[in-house]
Structure 1
Amino acid sequence: MVIRQRKSKLDDAAIMRLIDTELVPLSHMGENDINKIRKEIPLRMSRGMTFVISPSPDKEALAFIHLLMHGELLYIDMMAVSAKEQRKRYGETLLHKAETFATSRGCKISKVMVDEGNMKGLQFYQKQGYRIIRYIMISRCFELEKNI
């Protein structure tokens, strides 16, 4: 397995499939909101950094993490691992890569939002040292934070 930066032509279709199969089903949002967000994904991906795990440098992504950095803040925007590839520590590997990358650029705090329906995600981040800061009623998600 290889960890590398996203290659748009190679990875974007696989990333959209991961979003559709692994993230969308956990969301509380209605179809209209999800379709609106889906249209914004290319713009979101053009900002920040995306790392992927793939079987080899020329194969498409099996897992990805997208992050944004603002000053001392790392924001984990999205992360998903293919259902067939879960429980292989790919999420942990990608999160560690994102945190290491961000700290090398001056980030000190990492934040992530987890949908209320994503209990596996919530447990995953807590196991990685994140703590719940608050529950945001309007977006129905938990905000988690970790010093990095």
Structure 2
Amino acid sequence: MIRKRLATIDDPAIYRLVVEQLVPFSRMYESGNSVTYSEIRKRLNANKTLVIAKGYKQPYGFISIIRKSSKLFIDMLAVDPREQGKGIGHILMKAAEDHGLRERCQMVELFVDDSNPKAIRFYSKRGYVIDSYVPDLSCYRMHKKLKR
């Protein structure tokens, strides 16, 4: 079931997913730097975060989003590797896009690390297109127009 993040229950699992599934692709952390639990909590608190879990157990996937004017920005998306390939990422993306439509957003934007071709393919299959490369972040910016 998809539900809103419950910090006490969900944050340890979300942190583990970030460290295991996102950090390895990020150039920000390749020189031995690591992301802290408090940094992740701060980002999650600034955003709306949806998780997918069996009831109120620890989540096996999450998406963190924030509305910026008429755009919805996807900050983070991760799914436990044991659950990948089962459509979980698509379910979370659909929930985020539906939220964007309810909020009258016209577009969804995200950044994807250039070292993560699997993620680039995932987003491309969902209709996202690369519109620029951001060298300082070693990321592609991708977007998709939302249709009502």
TM over 0.5: yes
Structure 2, unpaired ranges of 5+ = none
Number of aligned residue pairs: 144
Runs (4+) of structure 1 exceeding 4 A deviation are none
Matched, 1:11 2:16: no
Shift of 1:115: 0.4
- What amino acid is aligned across from residue 62 of structure 1 in structure 2? Y
SS in 2 for 1:31: coil
The aligned residue for residue 25 of structure 2 is 26
The aligned residue for residue 111 of structure 1 is 109
The aligned residue for residue 127 of structure 2 is 129
* Distance in 1 (alpha carbons) for counterparts of 2:44 and 2:35: 16
Q: Is the 8 A contact 2:2 2:53 kept in 1?
A: yes
Q: Structure 1, residues 71-123: CA drift from partner, whole Å, max 9, x if none?
A: 21100000000000000100000000001011101111100100011110000
Q: Structure 1 vs Structure 2: percent identity of aligned residues?
A: 35
Matched, 1:138 2:136: yes
The normalised TM-score by structure 1 is 0.93
RMSD over aligned Cα, in angstroms? 1.2
- What amino acid is aligned across from residue 96 of structure 1 in structure 2? K
The normalised TM-score by structure 2 is 0.93
- What amino acid is aligned across from residue 107 of structure 1 in structure 2? C
